[in-house]
Amino acid sequence: MLLCANLTFMRALFFNIVFCALLSFSCFGQNDNAKKNTLGVIKFNTNTQTPFSSNELSKLQEVYGAALSTEILDRPNRVLGIKEILRNRVSIEEISNPNQQKPCPLLSEIPLFDAFVSNLKRDQFFDPNTFNPLKYNFPFLRRGYQMYRVDQTNYFILIKPQHYNN
């Protein structure tokens, strides 16, 4: 009887040790993944330290209307983020060679960001010099680079992730 109780105790002890070992390996694995997914602090380019240009303010006014001050201008972090988007993260490239063009979503598939100006309209003609990326509900916070094609043109809109400087 003593041998049977001792054997039962040994089995329970063995299973507890195995369970604790597996649990600790599982916890360590999660820590490694958490470190890999941490993006850290966003590094802004030095050109975000200068005030908005009149062109940038015009783009902001078009999208935010009467809410421009309360939603953007009175919030320093948003000012910095918008400057980074307009000055560094969004670029437009013309790719004429069909072999270099990649399939991607069309600009017409992206909804307008009309939360503040309900009568916001799409541009009838695309002009890369006056294009306002803030008019569109692009997923600016998504990880990874993004590319969109302007319908029926060879223009592509490239959006860098917010951690591209890290």
Residues 5, 9, 10, 15: is their CA dihedral positive or negative? positive
- pLDDT greater than 80 at residue 36: no
Q: What is the average pLDDT value for the chain, to the nearest integer?
A: 87
Q: Model confidence over 109-162: pLDDT tens digits?
A: 999 999 999 999 999 999 999 999 999 999 999 989 999 999 999 999 999 998
Q: In whole angstroms, how far apart are CA 118 and each of 13, 21, 66, 109, 115?
A: 67, 58, 12, 18, 6
Angle 46-48-49 (CA atoms, 0-180°, nearest 5)? Answer: 75
* Confidence (pLDDT) at 165: 75
* Confidence (pLDDT) at 149: 97
- pLDDT greater than 60 at residue 29: no
Which residues 6+ apart lie within 8 Å of 135 measured at CB? Answer: 59, 62, 63, 112, 113, 120, 122, 123
Q: In the chain, what are the domain boundaries?
A: 46-159
CB 160 within 8 A of CB 84: no
Lowest mean pLDDT among 33-37, 38-42, 68-72, 111-115: 33-37
